Structure formats: C-alpha cells, structure tokens
C-alpha cells in the first residue's frame, strides 16, 4: 500500500465520486427517482472502492463504501440521550373527541381567549416501527441509538449505516456542529413479504409483522445481516443541537430535514384548529389500508416551536403533542382449543388456539385469554365463534364470544380441572384466593421458571453472586448445564469457559463469587429460594422466629401464622412450596453444597424506653445521603422494623425529597415524621443505650 501523501487530484476525484454516489443514493432511496441505471451506479461504486483500497487513508466514515463494513459488534453499547426521547400522550377515541380534547387542553394552557384564532397544528402519521436518534457532528453521522427507556438507548450505528435512506453526511452547505435528528425505522409491506419469503426458503425464522422484523434487524450485532433486510426511515423530530438556526415551526423543521437529505413522509398537513385535526384523522383512516407501511394512528403537534417550549411537559409527556390512535383491528374466527403457557414466574396463562385469521395484515393463530376469571366473564368456550383483535395492533386477544353462533358441541374450559399439574414439570397447580392467576408450585425445579429462579437466587439481595447475569444464565440453562440453583455450586471453569464472552479468567472470577456465596444468612437464603409472597422482610421474620430451615419446613399454616406479619396467604405459599418434593430436593442439594450461616442471636426483649427496638418505621422519598437499603439495614440492626405501608401501628415515617402519599397518610394519622438527620440522631441514641460511654469514669 502507498505510504506517500495522497495526490490532491486523487483526493479530489474520490470526493467527487462520493458526492455523485450520495446524490444517486438520495434520488434512489428517498425520492424514488433513480438518476442512472444500476450498472452505472455500480461502476462509480467500484471506482471509489478501488481508490480507497489503493489509498486506505482516503476512507471516510461517510463514504458510501462504508455502509456495511467492519466486524460484528460484540454487544449493543448503551447510549445516554442528551435530550430524553419521551413518549407522548395517547387518545383512543375514534371520533373527533380526541382532537377536540387536545385542542381544548392546548388553548387552555396557552391562555387563549375563546375568540382567538385557531391554533396551527402539524398533523403527521404515527408510524409503527422503532424510534431512533441520529447524531450528526459537522454534518457526519457519528452515532445512532434506539429510544430504549427514553433516557438511555442502544448503539445501533453499524446497522443504521446500512439504511440507504439515511444520509451518512448531511446534504448542502453549512451543517451545524451538532444536530440530532429523531425518526422511525420501519419496514415496508413489500419488503417484509420478500424477507419472510426468503427466510422460509432458507429455513430461517419467520417474522410476525413488519415492526418485529424492523426491531430485530436494527438490533442485530452483525451489520451484514441488517444490510440484507431492507429497512426504511422517516424523520420527524429534533433532539440536541448546537449552532443550528432552528426553524420557527414543526413544518419548517421537516422541510429542513428534507433539505439535508432525509425522507419525510408526505402524508402530513398544517391544520388550523380541532376540526381540521379530526378531518386529517378521518382522511388517514380512509387511506390506511393502502399505505405501503404500518401505522397505528396520527400525531398532532403544535406547529409553532416557541409555543411548544411554552407549553412544556407534564409527567414526562409533552403538552404540545398527542397521538390519536385508531381502534384495534378485529376479525371473527373459531376457538379450536384452549391450552396454557407457563410463564417465568410460574403463572399459567390460558391461550386460545384459533382457526387462522388475518387481522391487521398479520395471520393470527393464537390469542391470550389472560386467566380463568376472564374466560368466565366473557363466557368463551372451545368451538365458540369469537371476535379477535390485536391489542395496540400488536398482541392478539379474544375480545368476546358470539353466543348466537355457538354450536352444540361447545365445551366450557376449567383450567384447574384441565391442568391439575404443570404441563412442564408435573408439579401441582394452585390458585390462591387473592389472585386471578393459577401458578405452578414447581418453583426451583420447573423448566419454565428455571431462568428466573436462578437469576433471583443469584441477585444482590439474595445470594449476591456477582457476575451471574441474564445472558449467562440463559446459556447455562439452554445448554442444560444448570437445571437448578444447586447446580451452580458444581460448575467448573471448563464449563463456564465454553460460554460466550467467558474466558478462563472470567470463569475463575465467577466461581470465586459462587464459592463466596456459600457463607450467607438464613434470611438471605430463604429469600433466594423464591417462595411466592416471601420477600426480604418476611424472610427475616421467618429466620428470626423459626431459626432453622428444618423448623420452617415442618411448620404448618397455624404455626407459620404465629410469625409476625405472616398471614394465611403467605403461610399457604410456604406450605405449598415445601409440599413439592422437587423443591425439598433442591434445598437439600444446596445445603449439601456447603451453604451455611451463623446461628441467629438470641432475641432481646424490647425495653419500654428504647428509642428504636420494637418500633415500626416506614421510609418514603429520597434521603440526602442514605440509600433506602442502607436506612433499612441501620434500622433493622438496631432492632426496629421497616414496613412498606403506613398504618396505625407505624411509629415513625422517615421522609426524604419527593415523599408522596405515605407522608400525607402519616400526617393524617398524627404519626411522627423524621428527616434523615432525626433518624440518624435516633439511631445514635440507640447506640448510646446499648453501649454506654465510659467517659468520666
């Protein structure tokens, strides 16, 4: 490869080729008006690639040759959004009421008189895809991130570069030092159909709908896979910016995006007042089925950006925008049968197996029935004709039965009669009186619950096994290396080192953490078992009151209810857990693996004048220096108790910043309120009572 400086004429030729290819990309992908035949485009692309191969220093991140390059990413890194990507309020009324309500809220917030001119809005489509934020610095794309939780997303730059509609470099002159363009990555109907056809031919996974296909593609680690799946993009919003003369209106902002080379949906309008918004909603409803991509509603935004700033936000939602969604699409079909799925927490969810029917462009064969109570409330039977819809246009559910079309052979469904034992592990299925859900009692043994049980067991507040994360647990369970928490204590370096991103050093470090977890407390161990309704506080009460696992296993419901704050529901959960031989076997294996704890100290009787011992505290809000966990530990170490809710038994409420309803209830009941300083003083008084100073002796 040449090491000499690149001749100026070579660099200029490369720049001109990149500019030509960028123009052709924009015309082809954004305008849908190709300027040259494919062969001519390919010729220009090969010339640029040859130059960059001969002169590697010519390669720039925004070169068309870099749309698919590099090695697969090891993982999707987290990206903190400098300006949060917030959600917007949703109106679901399918009439003009949604638009009227939004307009009334806006006018009221702006203090507009009744006779003031109509507010100008920008009405857009609500695309059914994946929101992303594209960060450009001095005109070049440097980062693309998913919305995530609104504060932090995932870095998908490598995949976004493969989307031909997204410019790697902003068109035109005078690009700002920084600008973030927000928009939606989606997949067209024709592209989705072609993708699924290709997947079927190659034996690959078929995608349920275009949104799932787009989301799955965007989160691929290998950009070469993403490049084979045609994604599309629409720009619609602005994030952070520096040195950018922001237009005065939303409409002007989208015009600027188009000038920079972004695709902007043509189905949009500036609407004056609520009636114009309602007309847009009605117009889009009429053309929705003919659109080449999925939407689930329209979006109304105040057009003036200064008014958007004036209206601001409430509850993390903008006051100046609203999504007006369409009713879920529905269809009629037959329930062929009803069976269940066992979830990660042991919940048995009844599922209707349906005669295949198309709903909203997707073929539906299964739909959730939620629970036995819902089945009875809707009176849904096997062989019934039912109305099915995609809730939120995504999750299929059975809306109602049509009893007038019920055949004589229709059969009622009784979950507990049909499934007295778990279809996964064979453990008993029970339903407590306090909830609608029936659950498998297999707990530590049930294959459906295994991953969740192991993650809970290893959690920081349980056995505290650092380094045992969700992805590793999934691998260990999927490869049948770990079938129960007890198997963790039999792992070897060789077994762990075979897992992804787990070398011998990482494996050895994890085994050290597992070995260190053998020394724990009885309370942590009980909490780690994942007994339903047994939280940290209850586990501590059980350990303090019964003191041995043997005593706990042998206790009946009456004995358990003598433990403070253990009622009939918790007692029943404990008895059900230990009634399963699987759970007792796993518990025995854990103890045989060397899990141990010191004998609990003898209980100390509460003193009448003691400042903390025997008193009930409730924590609310954020304390200045102490975390909630640290405050709880300090109180419990001093012999106090921390409850989750305020009652007449509460002695103190410790209130920090942003304290809510608990503080209000405490004030109403006349309960003493402490801030952090008062709590620390109370704890210090306890220490002095327990350990009187020897000063002055």
In order, the DSSP letters of 301-319 are EESBHHHHHHH-EETTEET
Looking at the predicted structure, is the pLDDT value of residue 184 above 70?
yes
Looking at the predicted structure, is the pLDDT value of residue 486 above 60?
yes
What torsion, rounded to 10 degrees, do the Cα atoms 232, 238, 239, 241 define?
A: 120
13: containing domain: 8-66
- Do 334 and 286 fall within a single domain? no
- Do 276 and 401 fall within a single domain? no
- Do 293 and 368 fall within a single domain? no
- Do 620 and 545 fall within a single domain? no
Residue that finishes a domain, picked among 372, 395, 418: 418
| Number of other CB atoms surrounding residue 591 within 10 Å | 12
Q: Where are the alpha helices (DSSP H) in 222-361?
A: 223-227, 250-259, 274-287, 305-311
Residues 6+ apart with CB under 8 A from 295: 125, 126, 127, 128, 284, 288
Distance CA 163, CA 28 (A): 12
Q: Tell me the pLDDT band of 222, cut-offs 50, 70 and 90.
A: confident
- Number of domains, the chain: 5
Q: What is the structure's pLDDT at 601? A: 57
Q: What is the structure's pLDDT at 360? A: 63
Q: Tell me the pLDDT band of 606, cut-offs 50, 70 and 90.
A: very low
Q: What is the structure's pLDDT at 410? A: 94
Q: Considering the domain boundaries, does residue 72 fall inside one?
A: no
**C-alpha neighbours within 13 Å on the C-beta side of residue 121:** 31
- Do 57 and 134 fall within a single domain? no
Q: What is the structure's pLDDT at 696? A: 35
Q: Considering the domain boundaries, does residue 434 fall inside one?
A: no
CATH of the domain at 387: 2.40.50.140
Question: Stretch 464-493: mean pLDDT, rounded?
Answer: 90
Specify the higher pLDDT residue, 394 or 281: 281
Distance CA 676, CA 628 (A): 11
- Do 293 and 182 fall within a single domain? yes
Residue that finishes a domain, picked among 291, 325, 359: 325
Q: 458 and 511 in contact (C-beta within 8 Å)?
A: no
Rg (CA), the chain: 31
Question: Stretch 113-135: mean pLDDT, rounded?
Answer: 94
Name the catalytic one among 47, 126, 540, 662.
Answer: 126
The CA-atom distances, in angstroms, between 536 and each of 584, 588, 594, 622 are 20, 21, 22, 20
Specify the higher pLDDT residue, 685 or 592: 592
CATH of the domain at 685: 3.40.50.10190
158 DSSP assignment: H
CATH of the domain at 28: 1.10.287.610
CA 427 to chain centre: 31
Residue that finishes a domain, picked among 301, 325, 349: 325
CATH of the domain at 243: 3.30.470.30
Structural element, H or E, at residue 385? strand 385-391
Q: Considering the domain boundaries, does residue 430 fall inside one?
A: no
Looking at the predicted structure, is the pLDDT value of residue 610 above 90?
no
- Do 190 and 310 fall within a single domain? yes
Q: What is the structure's pLDDT at 132? A: 94
Looking at the predicted structure, is the pLDDT value of residue 265 above 70?
yes
Q: Tell me the pLDDT band of 39, cut-offs 50, 70 and 90.
A: low
Q: Tell me the pLDDT band of 694, cut-offs 50, 70 and 90.
A: very low
Specify the higher pLDDT residue, 522 or 197: 522
Helix (H, G, I), strand (E, B) or coil at 589: helix
Q: What is the structure's pLDDT at 443? A: 75
Angle between helices 568-579 and 581-592 in degrees, nearest 10:
80
Structural element, H or E, at residue 637? helix 628-637
CATH of the domain at 586: 1.10.150.20
- Do 588 and 462 fall within a single domain? yes
Q: 415 and 372 in contact (C-beta within 8 Å)?
A: yes
Looking at the predicted structure, is the pLDDT value of residue 523 above 70?
yes
Looking at the predicted structure, is the pLDDT value of residue 577 above 80?
yes
Q: Considering the domain boundaries, does residue 657 fall inside one?
A: yes
The CA angle 436-437-442, to the nearest 5 degrees, is: 150
Q: What is the structure's pLDDT at 109? A: 93
Q: Tell me the pLDDT band of 126, cut-offs 50, 70 and 90.
A: very high
Question: Stretch 418-445: mean pLDDT, rounded?
Answer: 85
Sign of the dihedral defined by the CA atoms of residues 595, 601, 607, 609, in that order: negative
Specify the higher pLDDT residue, 8 or 35: 8
Q: 260 and 167 in contact (C-beta within 8 Å)?
A: yes
Q: What share of the chain has pLDDT > 70, as a percent? A: 92
- Catalytic (active site) residue 126: yes
Q: 412 and 420 in contact (C-beta within 8 Å)?
A: no
- Do 51 and 121 fall within a single domain? no
Residue from 512, 509, 555, 511 nearest 531 by CA: 555
Looking at the predicted structure, is the pLDDT value of residue 61 above 70?
yes
Q: What is the structure's pLDDT at 386? A: 93
Q: What is the structure's pLDDT at 208? A: 67
Q: Looking at 32-87, which runs of residues are DSSP E strands? A: 78-80
Q: Considering the domain boundaries, does residue 88 fall inside one?
A: no
Specify the higher pLDDT residue, 102 or 209: 102
- Do 367 and 414 fall within a single domain? yes
Q: 219 and 63 in contact (C-beta within 8 Å)?
A: no
Question: Stretch 260-266: mean pLDDT, rounded?
Answer: 95
Q: What is the structure's pLDDT at 697? A: 28
Region of 32 please: left (phi>0), alpha (psi -120 to 50) or beta.
left
- Do 624 and 571 fall within a single domain? no
Looking at the predicted structure, is the pLDDT value of residue 75 above 80?
no
Question: Stretch 82-102: mean pLDDT, rounded?
Answer: 84
Q: Considering the domain boundaries, does residue 634 fall inside one?
A: yes
Q: Tell me the pLDDT band of 689, cut-offs 50, 70 and 90.
A: low
Q: What is the structure's pLDDT at 344? A: 75
Mean pLDDT of the chain: 86
Looking at the predicted structure, is the pLDDT value of residue 404 above 60?
yes
Q: 156: burial class by Cβ within 10 Å (0-12, 13-18, 19+)?
A: buried
Q: What is the structure's pLDDT at 31? A: 63
pTM listed for this prediction = 0.50
Specify the higher pLDDT residue, 671 or 207: 671
Looking at the predicted structure, is the pLDDT value of residue 602 above 60?
no
Please tell me which of 44-48, 151-155, 258-262 the model is most confident about, judged by mean pLDDT: 258-262
Q: Considering the domain boundaries, does residue 425 fall inside one?
A: no
Please tell me which of 243-257, 626-640, 670-684 the model is most confident about, judged by mean pLDDT: 243-257
Question: Stretch 529-558: mean pLDDT, rounded?
Answer: 89
The CA-atom distances, in angstroms, between 666 and each of 477, 629, 673, 680 are 47, 21, 8, 20
The CA-atom distances, in angstroms, between 601 and each of 462, 521, 545, 553, 591 are 21, 12, 11, 21, 21
Candidate from 226-235, 325-334, 335-344, 544-553 with smallest mean pLDDT: 325-334
The CA angle 147-152-157, to the nearest 5 degrees, is: 65
What torsion, rounded to 10 degrees, do the Cα atoms 90, 96, 97, 99 define?
A: 50
Distance CA 251, CA 269 (A): 8
Q: What is the structure's pLDDT at 695? A: 37
Q: What is the structure's pLDDT at 693? A: 46
Question: Stretch 610-615: mean pLDDT, rounded?
Answer: 79
Question: Stretch 629-634: mean pLDDT, rounded?
Answer: 83
Looking at the predicted structure, is the pLDDT value of residue 129 above 60?
yes
- Do 412 and 283 fall within a single domain? no
Residue positions counted in the chain: 697
Candidate from 28-37, 502-511, 659-668 with smallest mean pLDDT: 28-37
Looking at the predicted structure, is the pLDDT value of residue 500 above 50?
yes
Q: Tell me the pLDDT band of 664, cut-offs 50, 70 and 90.
A: confident
**What pLDDT digit, counting tens, does each position of 354-384 carry?**
999 887 667 889 998 988 998 998 999 999 9
Q: Considering the domain boundaries, does residue 95 fall inside one?
A: no
């Amino acid at each position: 490869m040449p090491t000499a400086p690149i001749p100026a004429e070579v660099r200029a030729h490369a720049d001109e080729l990149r500019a030509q290819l960028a123009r052709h990309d924009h015309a082809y992908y954004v305008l849908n008006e190709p300027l040259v035949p494919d062969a001519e485009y390919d010729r220009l692309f090969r010339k640029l690639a040859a130059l960059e191969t001969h002169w590697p220093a010519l390669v720039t991140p925004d070169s068309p040759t870099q749309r698919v390059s590099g090695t697969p990413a090891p993982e999707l890194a987290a990206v903190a959004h400098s300006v949060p990507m917030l959600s917007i309020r949703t109106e679901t009324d399918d009439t003009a009421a949604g638009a009227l309500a939004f307009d009334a809220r806006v006018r009221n917030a702006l203090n507009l008189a009744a006779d003031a001119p109509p507010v100008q809005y920008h009405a857009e489509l609500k695309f059914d895809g994946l929101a992303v934020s594209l960060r450009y610095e001095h005109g070049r794309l440097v980062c693309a991130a998913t919305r995530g939780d609104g504060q932090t997303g995932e870095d998908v730059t490598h995949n976004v570069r493969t989307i031909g509609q997204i410019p790697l470099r902003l068109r035109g002159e005078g690009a700002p030092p920084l600008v973030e363009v927000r928009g939606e990555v989606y997949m067209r109907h024709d592209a989705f159909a072609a993708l699924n056809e290709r997947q079927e031919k190659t034996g690959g996974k078929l995608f349920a709908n275009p949104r799932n296909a787009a989301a799955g593609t965007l989160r691929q680690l290998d950009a070469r896979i993403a490049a084979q799946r045609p994604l599309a993009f629409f720009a619609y919003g602005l994030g952070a910016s520096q040195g950018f003369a922001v237009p005065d209106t939303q409409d002007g902002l989208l015009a600027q995006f188009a000038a920079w080379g972004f695709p902007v949906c043509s189905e949009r309008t500036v609407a004056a007042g609520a009636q114009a918004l309602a007309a847009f909603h009605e117009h889009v409803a009429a053309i929705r089925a003919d659109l080449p991509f999925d939407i689930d509603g329209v979006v109304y935004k105040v057009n003036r950006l200064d008014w958007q700033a004036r209206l601001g936000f409430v509850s993390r939602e903008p006051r100046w925008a609203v999504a007006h969604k369409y009713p879920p699409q529905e269809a009629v079909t037959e329930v062929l049968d009803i069976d269940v799925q066992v979830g990660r927490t042991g919940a048995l969810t009844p599922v209707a197996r349906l005669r295949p029917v198309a709903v909203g462009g997707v073929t539906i064969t299964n739909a959730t029935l939620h629970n036995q109570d819902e089945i009875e409330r809707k009176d849904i039977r096997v062989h019934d004709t039912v109305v099915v819809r995609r809730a939120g246009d995504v999750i299929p559910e059975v809306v109602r039965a049509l009893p007038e079309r019920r055949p004589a052979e229709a059969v009622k469904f009784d979950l507990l009669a049909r499934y007295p034992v778990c279809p996964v592990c064979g453990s008993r299925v029970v339903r407590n009186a306090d909830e609608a859900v029936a659950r498998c009692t297999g707990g530590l043994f049930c294959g459906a619950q295994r991953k969740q049980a192991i993650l809970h067991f290893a959690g920081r507040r349980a056995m505290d096994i650092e380094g045992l994360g969700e992805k590793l647990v999934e691998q260990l369970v999927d490869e049948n290396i770990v079938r129960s928490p007890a198997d963790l204590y039999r792992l070897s370096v060789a077994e762990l080192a075979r897992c992804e991103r787990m070398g011998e050093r990482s494996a050895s470090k994890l085994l050290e953490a597992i070995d260190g977890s053998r020394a724990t407390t009885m309370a942590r161990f009980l909490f780690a078992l994942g007994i339903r309704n047994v939280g940290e506080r209850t586990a501590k009460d059980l350990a303090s009151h019964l003191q041995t696992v043997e005593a706990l296993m042998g206790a009946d419901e009456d004995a358990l209810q003598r433990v403070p704050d253990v009622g009939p529901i918790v007692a029943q959960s404990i008895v059900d857990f230990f009634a399963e031989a699987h759970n007792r076997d796993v518990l025995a294996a854990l103890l045989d693996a060397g899990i141990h704890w010191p004998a609990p100290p003898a209980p100390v009787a509460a003193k009448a004048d003691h400042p903390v011992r025997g008193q009930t505290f409730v924590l609310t809000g954020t304390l200045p220096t102490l975390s909630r966990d640290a405050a709880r530990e300090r109180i419990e170490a001093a012999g106090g108790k921390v409850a989750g809710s305020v009652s007449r038994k509460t002695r103190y409420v410790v209130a920090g910043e942003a304290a809510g309803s608990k503080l209000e209830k405490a004030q109403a009941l006349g309960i003493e309120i402490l801030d952090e300083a008062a709590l620390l003083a109370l704890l210090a008084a306890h220490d002095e009572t327990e350990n009187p100073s020897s000063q002055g002796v």
